[in-house]
Amino acid sequence: MTTLNEFIELLKGLVEEDPEHGERVVIMSRDPEGNGFSEFDAWGTTNFDPEDDETYSDEEDEEDNQDFGVPDSAVPALILWPSR
């Protein structure tokens, strides 16, 4: 399990690696009813469109971008994933 101090160090490292990461919005996969909890497991970068609650890869050569494109309303995001 990740402690808060470890999580803070992870975030500091991301921003040190690339200061632009500090401008990303933070998103998480969710269950609106709160029907379960799980510890933090992994993170990734993506583009998030708050107008349709969809994510779009931030890798230019990935199939999703070629097929659908990234909408102008999408913003760079840091996505947090639960362990289960």
Sorted by where each begins, the domain ranges of the chain are 24-82
Q: Average pLDDT, stretch 42-67?
A: 78
Higher pLDDT, 38 or 25: 25
Flag whether pLDDT at 35 surpasses 80.
no
* Token code pair at residue 55: 């994510």
Strands (E), 29-74: 40-49, 54-56
Flag whether pLDDT at 66 surpasses 90.
no
pLDDT of residue 9: 97
Confidence of residue 58 (pLDDT cuts 50, 70, 90): confident
Flag whether pLDDT at 36 surpasses 90.
no
Cα–Cα nearest to 74, from 42, 41, 27:
27
